[in-house]
Amino acid sequence: MKRFSISPPVAALILAIVLFLLSGFLPNSYGSDVKVAIAQATNILRLAVFLGVIAAGQTLVIISGFEGIDLSAGSIVTLTAILTYVYVNGEDNKVLVALLIALGVGALIGLLNGIGVTFLKISPFVMTLGMSGMVTGAIIVVNHGDVRGKIAPIMTRLIARPISPEIPIPGAIVIWLIFGVLMWLLLERTTFGKNLFAIGVNRVTAKLSGVNVTATNLTTYSLAGALAGFGGFLVVGNTGVVMIQLGQPFLFPSIAAVAVGGTLLSGGKGSYWGTMAGAIVLTLITSLLTTMQMPDSVRRMVLGATLLILISIYGRQRALRQ
Does 129 bind other proteins (CB under 8 A)? Our answer is yes
Least distance between other proteins and beta carbon 207 (Å): 17
DSSP-assigned beta bridge partners for residue 162: 170
Q: Which residue in the set 252, 290, 291, 293 belongs to the binding site for other proteins (CB under 8 A)? A: 252
Does 239 bind other proteins (CB under 8 A)? Our answer is no
Least distance between other proteins and beta carbon 99 (Å): 26
Kindly identify the residues of this chain, within the stretch 294-313, that bind other proteins according to CB under 8 A.
295-305, 307-308, 311-312
Q: How big is the site for other proteins, counted in residues (CB under 8 A)?
A: 52
CA distance 253 to 3: 30
Least distance between other proteins and beta carbon 148 (Å): 17
Question: Which one of the spans 102-110, 215-223, 225-233, 264-272 is the region binding other proteins (CB under 8 A)?
Answer: 264-272
Least distance between other proteins and beta carbon 173 (Å): 27
CB nearer to other proteins: pick between 151 and 285: 285
Q: Which residue in the set 141, 178, 204, 208 belongs to the binding site for other proteins (CB under 8 A)? A: 141
**Amino acid, res. 107:** A
Does 255 bind other proteins (CB under 8 A)? Our answer is yes
Nearest to 9 by CA among 46, 44, 55: 55
Burial call 168-196: b when 16+ CB within 10 Å, e when fewer: eebbbbbbbeebbeebeebbeeeeebebb
Least distance between other proteins and beta carbon 25 (Å): 24
Least distance between other proteins and beta carbon 288 (Å): 15
Does 109 bind other proteins (CB under 8 A)? Our answer is no
Q: Which residue in the set 34, 204, 208, 320 belongs to the binding site for other proteins (CB under 8 A)? A: 320
Report in angstroms the alpha-carbon separations of 285 from 47, 52, 170, 213. 12, 15, 21, 38
**Sequence-separated contacts (24+) of 196-199 with Cβ below 8 Å:** 196/60, 196/63, 196/64, 196/220, 197/63, 197/268, 197/269, 199/64, 199/65, 199/66
Does 140 bind other proteins (CB under 8 A)? Our answer is yes
CA distance 143 to 82: 9
Does 136 bind other proteins (CB under 8 A)? Our answer is yes
- C-alpha 318: how far from its chain's center? 26
Does 123 bind other proteins (CB under 8 A)? Our answer is yes
**Amino acid, res. 88:** V
Least distance between other proteins and beta carbon 265 (Å): 5
CA distance 39 to 51: 19
Kindly identify the residues of this chain, within the stretch 195-214, that bind other proteins according to CB under 8 A.
none
Give one DSSP letter per residue of 238-272, joined into a string: HH----TTSSHHHHHHHHHHHHHTT--TTSS---H
Q: Under the rule (CB under 8 A), what is the footprint of other proteins?
A: 67, 69, 116, 119-123, 125-127, 129-134, 136-138, 140-141, 144, 252, 255-256, 259, 264-266, 295-305, 307-308, 311-312, 315-321
